[in-house]
A and B are shown apart, each in its own frame.
Chain A
């Protein structure tokens, strides 16, 4: 009997695969062919109606990229990526999605349920193809978005996709794009510069305090921003903006390689707060199929007394390679990095920050909390440096790692470099395990194991959670608990 069932299952599996293949062939016309070449870049640029200078910028990046080598210094291990076996452009509307929630991975739905996400949003997140009639539901939220856009316009804030910005505000884009992360910065950033498909553009003019938290969430219905996202945020003199990226809910995504670039520019007295919750597919129980997340994020405190603060909660992706950094160029500028990185199963995280002190009296603060479970590897890699002229530079770094189980690893790799004798850098690092004593104590009080781990871990990351905007904080706590389910026993 068992054999018969097995055969049925096997046949069914083949069927599904063949169907999927056939389906993709049908829509091939809406995709650029696989691989990367000048042709493909021209194709992308043309599809997006870009001006000539943008195309030249992309081509320049591409030519540089051809001369570069993939970096190997990070503590991550993955099979070599064949960059000519990837699609670099697919018309997002035509990417086939599940027809209803019934077709969505039940595991994913379980997570949505635990996070308390309403059904309609679940469908959007899971990428369900909606028939015309039901699209009204989506239109509802589009009208919400429109209301927000009106309010932002009143304040003079520009918030739109980067593709729109290239067309509508070419001068601003030209002035700032690539000014923080140059096209030649690193392998993945250069690749991104050549092929980026979309992302967000934010411009907050002089003296304006952005009246609301800006979130990519509001843009969720617009377009699948895809694998090569490009974000540019500019806060002029005295401006303030808080930007939320990502979503606690795991999003369906067909692209395995993600190489985003985020650039922040803060002029005199400006402040930018950038919060991320990243929960992409981490791969199956064997670690296969998860997202590779190779991101370049950098903020430039270009003006005096400017401030840039990165807060991140990283729970997803098979491989994370990410170092949101601050260049403290202006005198009295300040950079902050608050991070929670959770790895479970076979996940590999190599993440941290760079604080480059160039101006006088600049200060920075780094609080990193790494939690490793399963057979995962979790590395903090951080650089703090003070330039010759960075008189009175100050840094405080605290890196804490928490291990769950005895098959995972936590590593701390700090690079500290002071070329100015008045610089003061402090570094504290701890590694601990959830002790049997703590676990037993919670159990004895009637708290089941998974709830106990979530409680202890949330205690461990509390300092960073406090830095998140309220609406993110509660969800992030739940998310951390969910990410660690099944990590013990």
Chain B
């Protein structure tokens, strides 16, 4: 589903190189974890996948279902099924969560040439998905992310993911700022979305989230490169020994 070949990328503004020859393959149905110490380029990778303009790809390619997506803008990528759950979800004052969901769902449908959802269909879908995530219906009337607690914000992200039905889900540090109960709800939400035609990339600093969302593959990102790939054992190893060993071996 996703193939990243020899990717080099830098911050557009000051030219700092962040990704330095990254290779990664994620198959449909796979849950891939990307781990690494702070500043290794994890969040940058998620932004580059989703097409944020602040970064410039200088070399390499990103193939999504065989298509090079580097020329597509973020909205086009989203319509093709790439979804990013943000580490820090953004507040949109005055725009009710419900309204935001409707605009996003219909814009994606429009881009794919599908008819807009009828209002009853839309409301039914949202209510079902919200109940799964134990989201209070009142939250849906509030402006998106404005005054939401950390847990509410992350649940709102997973709610959007469930409703937009993406093919490639990228979760950027979704566990940060969550207590254990919220973490379980969020993980259940993600697990419910697992399917043979969908891939999930879980970006995380800690093993903790991977107890609940069990990865098929684990990749260690360091200084803009994948320096080690393994199965879920690798995450446990990292948890026990820290990154120093692996970094040492790579150096």
Contact of B93 among A448, A449, A451, A460 (CB under 8 A): A460
Q: A445: which B residues are within 8 A, CB to CB? A: 78, 100, 104, 107-108, 160, 164
Q: A460: which B residues are within 8 A, CB to CB? A: 93-94
Q: B60 at the A/B interface (Cβ < 8 Å)?
A: no
Q: Least Cβ distance of A256 to chain B in Å? A: 35
The digit string for A66-80, where 1 denotes a CB below 8 A from any CB of B, is 000000000000000
The answer to whether B75 touches A437 (Cβ under 8 A) is no
Interface residues of B in 53-77 (CB under 8 A from A): 53-54, 73-75
Q: B111 at the A/B interface (Cβ < 8 Å)?
A: yes
The digit string for A432-460, where 1 denotes a CB below 8 A from any CB of B, is 00011110111111111101000110111
The answer to whether A459 touches B143 (Cβ under 8 A) is yes
Q: How far is the CA of A456 from the CA of B93 in the complex (A)?
A: 8
Contact of A448 among B75, B86, B99, B100 (CB under 8 A): B75
The answer to whether A446 touches B93 (Cβ under 8 A) is no
Q: Least Cβ distance of A127 to chain B in Å? A: 34
Q: How far is the CA of A458 from the CA of B94 in the complex (A)?
A: 7
Indicate the size class of the contact surface on chain A.
Answer: 20 to 34
Q: How far is the CA of A460 from the CA of B93 in the complex (A)?
A: 7
Contact of A444 among B84, B95, B100 (CB under 8 A): B84
Contact of A443 among B75, B91, B95 (CB under 8 A): B75
Q: How far is the CA of A448 from the CA of B78 in the complex (A)?
A: 10
Q: B192 at the A/B interface (Cβ < 8 Å)?
A: no
Q: How far is the CA of A407 from the CA of B184 in the complex (A)?
A: 47
The answer to whether B94 touches A447 (Cβ under 8 A) is no
Q: B89: which A residues are within 8 A, CB to CB? A: 441
Q: B86: which A residues are within 8 A, CB to CB? A: 441, 444
Q: B180 at the A/B interface (Cβ < 8 Å)?
A: no
Q: A210 at the A/B interface (Cβ < 8 Å)?
A: no
The answer to whether A455 touches B92 (Cβ under 8 A) is yes
Q: A444: which B residues are within 8 A, CB to CB? A: 50-51, 74-75, 78, 83-84, 86
The answer to whether A458 touches B95 (Cβ under 8 A) is yes
Interface residues of A in 392-412 (CB under 8 A from B): none
The answer to whether B52 touches A440 (Cβ under 8 A) is yes
Q: B185 at the A/B interface (Cβ < 8 Å)?
A: no
The answer to whether B94 touches A443 (Cβ under 8 A) is no
Interface residues of A in 430-489 (CB under 8 A from B): 435-438, 440-449, 451, 455-456, 458-463
The answer to whether A455 touches B100 (Cβ under 8 A) is yes
Q: B79 at the A/B interface (Cβ < 8 Å)?
A: yes
Name A432's closest neighbour in chain B (CB-CB).
B93
Q: B123 at the A/B interface (Cβ < 8 Å)?
A: no
The answer to whether A440 touches B103 (Cβ under 8 A) is no
With known contacts A440-B74, A455-B95, A446–B90 Cβ distance under 8 A: no
With known contacts A445-B164, A460-B93, A461-B94, A436–B54 Cβ distance under 8 A: yes
Some 5 contacts from A to B, beta carbons below 8 A apart, are: A444-B50, A446-B75, A446-B164, A456-B95, A459-B92
Known interface pairs A438-B90, A446-B75, A451-B107; 16 further A-B residue pairs with C-beta atoms within 8 A, sorted by A's residue number: A438-B91, A440-B53, A441-B92, A443-B75, A444-B50, A444-B83, A445-B78, A445-B107, A446-B79, A447-B104, A447-B107, A448-B107, A448-B111, A459-B94, A459-B95, A461-B94
What 7 A-B pairs come out closest when comparing CB atoms? A459-B94, A446-B78, A459-B95, A443-B74, A446-B108, A445-B104, A441-B90
Interface of B with A (CB < 8 Å)?
50-54, 73-75, 78-79, 83-84, 86, 89-95, 99-100, 103-104, 107-108, 111, 143, 160, 164
